[in-house]
Amino acid sequence: MYTFHTLTAWIEEMRLLCTPDKVVWCTGSEEEYQAFLQLMVSEGKAKPLNPIKRPGSYAFFSDPSDVARTENRTFIACQNPDDAGPTNNWVDPDEIKKTLKASFRGSMKGRTMYVIPFMMGPLGAPVSKIGIQLTDSLYVVVNMRLMTRMGSHVLKALEKGGEFVPCLHSVGYPLEKGQKDLPWPCAPIEKKYIVHFPEERMIWSYGSGYGGNALLGKKCLALRIASVLARDEGWMAEHMLILKLTDPNGKYRYILGAFPSACGKTNLAMLVPTLPGWTVETLGDDIAWIRLGKDGRLYAINPEYGFFGVAKGTSFQSNPNAMHAISKNTLFTNVALTDDLDVWWEGIDGPIPAHLTDWQGQSWTPQSSTPAAHPNSRFTVSTKQCPVLAKEWENPEGVPISAILVGGRRPTTIPLVHESFSWAHGVFMGSTVGSEITAASISNNIGQVRRDPFAMLPFIGYHVGDYLKHWLDMGKKTSPEKLPRIFYVNWFRKDDQGHFLWPGFGENSRVLKWIFERCEGNVQAKKTPIGYMPYLKDLDTDGLVLEKGALKTLTDVHSDVWTQEAKDIRQYYEKLGPKIPHELYEELDGLSSRLK
């Protein structure tokens, strides 16, 4: 157990292991943040952007080997391999500690060890957690300041009691005396390790400086370790957006959404509805911590303090609120630069410039054969800069959830929207979510569909079967009418020519309106073998131009196609092993019999 009283002893132990030249405790102040940025500029590790076009903003460029979460180098270290399950890379904790201690030994030579006290969740929230990250990367420090509640006030909170999650990180590139540093130091891919010790509530990350591998408050603590804490403490840590949807009469509901990477999660969180009088405000775009309130309803907080969004495809057309948020005081990673030092990426608004400097520092023109920005280029910005931030976003108690959306990128089979028959059926739907593989994770299977239960496949800190059982168990802790309704949405259905049938973006507000009305009990739904679906008259399509027959195709349920889907789900469950809860097999059997 790591507490305030063991903090200095742990830091001293890690200092002796990593042998930095000095140790700096981060205060989290604005002055410190600006000083760190200027230090990186002087070292050639950060580039200040055009102060008129992009004030207070900087660009960073990573090593080409260090551009995404390295899932094949991400491990769960627990005593029993069965506790990690088939979706995680298991390692023996004692063995991996030997390997990592050898890697960390002297890894910070010639560098500074920064101590980052940070909190996930608002101060005083029932499920907020404290982490202490040690790192030799200033890039990590400045990003963590935007992404978490970081600083001396966290140490004061820790001193009053409670535990912290120890997070050790090094880029794995020690410097000999007089040796010149690299613009982006890191270790070779086979030497990278992102290791979680769920039984000890501890994270060790070595060799990568990139986002999810190095900002240990994000996926590592807020999902992989938090999912274990949540199971043990009776709450949920989920890869979900939180939005507030308000109708023209001022009535509002809070909605969660679980979507795999590159399925429009940030776009939906900051949606600009096309329907008059409807508004969407965001409380978070990536992670939700959910607990049972005294009234028996589920309440959610966003444990993060910033957005770490994919730049590619972000534009005023796709996400105007994100574009406003990143207009100043933003850190960009692996984007392209215009000749006047503004940022550019594929999918941004306006004509393609005649000349750019690409993310690898090379001269780029529209005739170049490679993308100007990396497909997984990122922006890091404080949540407070979002122009549609809901006033409740820092409420320590969280907000009561009316609906949970799940969805992936499926060009066929899955209709535009359907609702579960029950909580258990909704968990079944969430367990079967599939999506095309994207550039956000290193994989050779881009374009293929992979099942991604509740968009948590890379982030569950324990066995996926136990995780799904925890979902079912949470539903048994309260009465069914107090639980959120669960909906499966699919904005990505295509016609036979490969064209999207649904326009998406702001038009998704039409689907949100139907979901809102279902939660209010204002519209009936059609019972189909796969769930409740809207009657076409209840989907608001006023002013919407669709291809002829598109709406029918978007709401079709073909029994032969779904029979094959059910077979695929059964094979998937069998592959995951005997821990898949019997209730989910019962839901699958029910689907198969209804299709007959």
Q: 140, 170 in Cβ contact below 8 A?
A: no
pLDDT tens-digit map of 183-197? 999 999 999 999 999
> What gap in Å lies between CA 332 and CA 146, rounded to an integer?
12
Residue 356 clears pLDDT 90, i.e. is over it: yes
Of 286, 258, 203, 250, which Cα lies nearest the Cα of 461? Answer: 203
Q: Which pLDDT score is estimated for 394?
A: 96
More confident residue, 205 or 261: 205
Give me the sign of the Cα torsion angle 156, 217, 150, 264: negative
**Single-letter residue type at 464:** V
Q: What is the mean pLDDT of the chain?
A: 96
User: CATH fold of 4-40+72-234, please?
Assistant: Phosphoenolpyruvate Carboxykinase; domain 1 (3.40.449)
* Strand partners for 134: 115, 168
Residue 98 clears pLDDT 90, i.e. is over it: yes
Q: Where in the chain is the domain with CATH 3.90.228.20?
A: 238-305+390-595
**What is the token pair recorded at 138?**
């200033």
Q: Which pLDDT score is estimated for 188?
A: 95
- The active-site residue out of 167, 263, 386, 519 is 263
- Asked if 263 is an active-site residue, the reply is yes
Residue 448 clears pLDDT 90, i.e. is over it: no
Q: What is the mean pLDDT of residues 342-354?
A: 97
| Phi–psi pair at 221, nearest 5 degrees | -85, -50
Residue 447 clears pLDDT 90, i.e. is over it: no
> What gap in Å lies between CA 488 and CA 406, rounded to an integer?
5
> What gap in Å lies between CA 554 and CA 311, rounded to an integer?
29
Place of tokens 């976003």: 393
User: CATH fold of 238-305+390-595, please?
Assistant: Phosphoenolpyruvate Carboxykinase; domain 3 (3.90.228)
Q: Where in the chain is the domain with CATH 3.40.449.10?
A: 4-40+72-234
